[in-house]
Homo-oligomer: A and B are copies of this chain.
Amino acid sequence: MTDSQFQNVKINRDRLWNDLHETCVWGKGERWGEGNTDIGMKRLTLTDSDKQVRDWFVKTTESLGCKVSIDAMGNIFAVRPGKKDGPPTYAGSHLDTQPTGGRYDGILGVHAGIEVLKTLNDKDITTEYPVGVINWTNEEGARFPISMIASGVWAGAYSLEKAYSLVEVGGGSATQKSELERIGYLGFLEASYKANPIGAHFELHIEQGPILEKSNGKIGAVEGVQAYRWFLITVKGADCHTGTTDFKNRSDAMLTAAKLILHSHNKATEMGCLASTGILTLKPGSTNTVPGLVQFSLDIRSKEDALLLKLEEALKAEFAQIAAGEEAGGLNTLGTRGRGCTVDWQLDTDSPATKFHEDCIKCVEQSAKDMLGTNAAPQVQRMTSGAGHDSVYTSRRAPTSMIFVPCRDGVSHNPAEYCSPEDCGNGAQVLLGAMLRYDQLRAEKGA
């Protein structure tokens, strides 16, 4: 196909919008506005509502002429035949949501893939290699607490046993395996990139950040996913009375934690990284007792693994200095030097930086330019994903890239998450073009 031919294969934007919202009857969440679709989603993985949307997915893709197979993690692969055999070029994402999620995160990526199949049928296009759509299981990690677990098993990052034995959060006793069995999605196909290889993986997703919206960008061509490391930081001091203990005689774990959190921000700013604290607990928890124990989460991120490690090393050294009352980062300049605290680091999650495949990235960029025309340049932006996605794992075993579209105010994991019909359509159109371009590239290379 020529460039002008690619440009003329157009998805049906209204159909996509309608299909997407029709499936959101399964797992309705909180209403946040007056409109028909102003209702969030609560479709936790492997629940009854997840089974309903999975059944719809299988029925719909089979009706489009796809062969559907389900692997041992409940991942669903719908494949439309091409001229030749070979691992399919996939659109993939997930239909599960957070407990207070919206109707775009993950869902849009799967629907856009189905819209690609519908468009190919409408236009009677046969691709060089098979193309397909994947619905990955439990991307969110909200019910069974490891995110991207099923694409992780497929990629060999987790064992099947570990994934099966995960117990639901919130006090229930269901495991990921028992729920796969219960809803009839424990498949026969091995959950493995070896048994079930992928030719390429394209994932359309809302950005979940404000960068595109703020810069009037329309399409993000995602180059990779930043590295992140999650720590549990424990600050130990000593409980004492807030009224009877002067500052000099305190080992104030909360004051020290405040300094460390601020310093992690200052240092991350200096080094062009991110640092965030989302959880903090303290003991004993009384207005007139200086806390002797504080634990807080520290999430640090960078595009580069080496830079992230450099940040970690700096923070480890400087946290200890600050806690001991030494001069570091200006945190002990103005106050009173007390008796000091100790700081302990525990690594909970290590996710190295992911680099997507240049061929795939270029297909996304070119497809975006096909759609946007002569003024495309500032509206198509190369980006790094801040969050993890199933594409992190597929990229370990197959050429991968992602397509980002703006979401309102960068809000996601929230009922009011919103992606406009225009942006949803733009994303699906770019997905179609990228898949067709990549299919042609494979044929040219004979891959």
Contacts and interface: CB of A to CB of B under 8 A. Distances in A.
A397 interface: no
B262 A258 contact: yes
A243 B262 contact: no
Contact of A335 (B214, B269, B282): B269
Nearest to A226: B243
A338 to B, nearest CB: 10
Interface string A266-280: 101110001011111
B334 A412 contact: no
B269 A336 contact: yes
A84 interface: no
Contact of A387 (B243, B265, B279): B243
A244 interface: yes
A209 B286 CA distance: 17
A288 to B, nearest CB: 6
Interface stretch (A33-41, A186-194, A246-254): A246-254
B242 A299 contact: yes
A444 to B, nearest CB: 35
Interface stretch (A4-12, A289-297, A423-431): A289-297
A255 B246 contact: no
A209 B241 contact: yes
A81 interface: no
A385 interface: yes
Contacts of A16: none
A244 B335 contact: no
Contact of A279 (B287, B331, B334): B287
A28 interface: no
Contact of A255 (B245, B255, B277): B277
Contacts of A279: 282, 285-287
A240 B269 CA distance: 18
Given A269-B336, A287-B299, A291-B278, A245 B331 contact: no
Interface string A207-250: 11111001000000000001010100000000111111111010
A7 to B, nearest CB: 31
Given A247-B269, A255-B262, A258-B257, A242 B333 contact: no
B228 A243 contact: yes
Contact of A245 (B245, B261, B265, B410): B410
Nearest to A286: B278
B410 A269 contact: no
A388 B242 CA distance: 11
A246 B290 CA distance: 33
A271 to B, nearest CB: 12
A408 interface: no
B241 A254 contact: no
A269 B289 CA distance: 18
A414 interface: yes
Contacts of A214: 249
A412 B290 CA distance: 12
18 contacts: A209-B244, A209-B246, A209-B249, A210-B245, A230-B288, A239-B414, A240-B411, A243-B385, A244-B410, A254-B277, A259-B262, A262-B335, A266-B334, A278-B284, A278-B287, A279-B285, A287-B299, A330-B334
